[in-house]
């Protein structure tokens, strides 16, 4: 069986899980290709799904859903009845709307969605001082990924004819979820910038930027395009790009979510069938 895994990953958690899932599929004798669609050129080039028997779509949770750039890309695909599975990495807070909203897009595009999963991954805002899932993904995610790959494989192969059960939408409408997307700019009030510091001008921050917002020559993110994914901050080999501290918002975020740091970090992932 030929499987395509297409994923978006700004800071590496989803990429790491995509590789782990690929290895588990390979152990089941599938042939698997990874397609990283994080940067605009890769999304524009697209993925020729006609070469595959099944597809897996991986994404971080950004403000309770897959990032808009990924949702927009998924909405350009033609499923033609192909069986597919989804997976998400998340930073310890609300993730559930992502499954429902992404499944709806894929179904509208003609895919048959058979499985989904969520995996803990260090929260992007740890880069400014949060302490959510500091060392994840780890062996717990590897084990869960093995079970996820096996369940998805059986559904792709038809050994298990099941499809993903209808997942509840959750308490928020799509319009409310869209409104929540602006909250990230309260947490990251100062977008990545070099603040005039000199660097080697290697260009990596601009090369890996998913939205085309970063200009490596000026070291300034375009506020109209930046999605606050912090990919550039994580990638800079000289740690030259900075944001505001997120330390002050950590305890309020835990209180708002009715949880403690210990409780949050004890969470494990989940498979949905
Ligand atoms: C803009 C933004 C919004 C996020 N929103 C959520 C969220 O709603 N719930 C959550 O648990 N994690 C959230 N996270 C954390 C990411 O989902 C998590 O760190 C993810 O593993 C990052 O994946 P990546 O390394 O592949 O980019 C958010 C991160 C960013 C950058
Ligand atoms: S990645 Fe860092 S070192 Fe390279 S151009 Fe950007 S800011 Fe400069
Ligand atoms: S400039 Fe903004 S969108 Fe681009 S990598 Fe940096 S944080 Fe992400």
pLDDT tens-digit readout, 5-48 = 999 999 999 999 999 999 999 999 999 999 999 999 999 999 99
Same fold, 2-171+267-272 and 180-265: no
Predicted pLDDT of residue 107: 98
Q: Could you tell me what percent of the chain has a pLDDT over 90?
A: 95
- Angle CA(116)–CA(85)–CA(96) in degrees, nearest 5? 30
Q: What is the pLDDT averaged over residues 170-180?
A: 91
Class of domain 2-171+267-272: alpha beta
Cα torsion 89, 92, 97, 99: sign: positive
Distance 184 CA to ligand 1 centre (A): 10
As separate numbers, helices (DSSP H) first and strands (DSSP E) second, the chain gives: 11, 8
pLDDT confidence bin for 196, thresholds 50/70/90: confident
Strand duo 54-60 + 83-90: pairing: parallel
Q: How many CB atoms lie within 10 A of CB 207?
A: 13
Whether 267 lines ligand 3, by a CB cut-off of 6 Å, is no
For a ligand 1 pocket test, name from 60, 120, 184 the mutation site with the most ligand atoms within 8 angstroms of its C-beta: 60
Predicted pLDDT of residue 195: 87
Distance 132 CA to ligand 3 centre (A): 20
Distance 200 CA to ligand 3 centre (A): 19
Q: Which residue has the higher pLDDT, 59 or 167?
A: 59
| Angle, helices 13-27/139-157, rounded to nearest 10 degrees | 50
Q: Which residue has the higher pLDDT, 52 or 183?
A: 52
> CA-based diameter of the chain, in Å?
59
Atom 2 of ligand 3: nearest residue by CA position: 226
For a ligand 3 pocket test, name from 38, 204, 230 the mutation site with the most ligand atoms within 8 angstroms of its C-beta: 230
Locate the ligand 3 atom nearest the alpha carbon of residue 205 and give its number.
5
Q: What is the CATH number of domain 180-265?
A: 3.30.70
Give the separation between CA 202 and CA 195, rounded to whole angstroms: 17
- CB crowding 87-118: b at 16 or more within 10 Å, else e: bbbbbbbebbbbbbbbbebbeebebbbbbbbb
Predicted pLDDT of residue 36: 98
ipTM: 0.99
Distance 91 CA to ligand 1 centre (A): 5
Give the separation between CA 29 and CA 14, rounded to whole angstroms: 23
Whether 236 lines ligand 2, by a CB cut-off of 6 Å, is yes
Domain ranges within the chain, ordered by starting residue: 2-171+267-272, 180-265
Give the separation between CA 7 and CA 24, rounded to whole angstroms: 16
Give the separation between CA 29 and CA 227, rounded to whole angstroms: 38
In the DSSP assignment, the letter for residue 182 is G
In the DSSP assignment, the letter for residue 95 is -
Locate the ligand 2 atom nearest the alpha carbon of residue 206 and give its number.
6
């Amino acid at each position: 069986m030929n499987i395509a895994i297409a994923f978006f990953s700004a800071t590496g958690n989803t990429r790491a899980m995509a590789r782990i899932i690929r290895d588990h599929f390979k152990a089941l004798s599938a042939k698997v290709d990874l397609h990283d669609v994080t940067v605009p050129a890769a999304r524009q080039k697209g993925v020729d799904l006609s070469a595959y028997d099944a597809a897996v779509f991986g994404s971080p949770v950004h403000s309770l859903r897959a990032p808009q750039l990924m949702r927009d890309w998924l909405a350009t695909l033609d499923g033609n009845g192909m069986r597919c599975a989804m997976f998400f990495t998340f930073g310890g807070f609300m993730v559930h709307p992502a499954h429902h909203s992404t499944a709806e897009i894929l179904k509208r595009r003609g895919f048959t969605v058979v499985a989904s999963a969520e995996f803990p991954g260090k929260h992007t805002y740890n880069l400014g001082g949060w302490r959510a899932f500091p060392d994840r993904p780890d062996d717990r995610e590897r084990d869960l990924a093995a079970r996820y790959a096996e369940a998805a494989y059986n559904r792709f192969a038809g050994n298990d004819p099941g499809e993903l059960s209808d997942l509840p939408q959750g308490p928020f409408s799509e319009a409310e979820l869209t409104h929540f997307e602006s909250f990230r700019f309260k947490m990251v009030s100062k977008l990545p910038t070099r603040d005039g510091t000199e660097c080697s001008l290697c260009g990596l921050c601009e090369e890996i930027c998913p939205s085309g917002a970063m200009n490596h020559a000026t070291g300034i993110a375009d506020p109209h395009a930046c999605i606050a994914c912090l990919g550039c901050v994580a990638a800079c080999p000289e740690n030259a790009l900075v944001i505001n501290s997120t330390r002050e918002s950590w305890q309020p975020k835990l209180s708002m979510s009715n949880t403690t740091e210990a409780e949050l970090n004890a969470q494990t992932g989940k498979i949905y069938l």
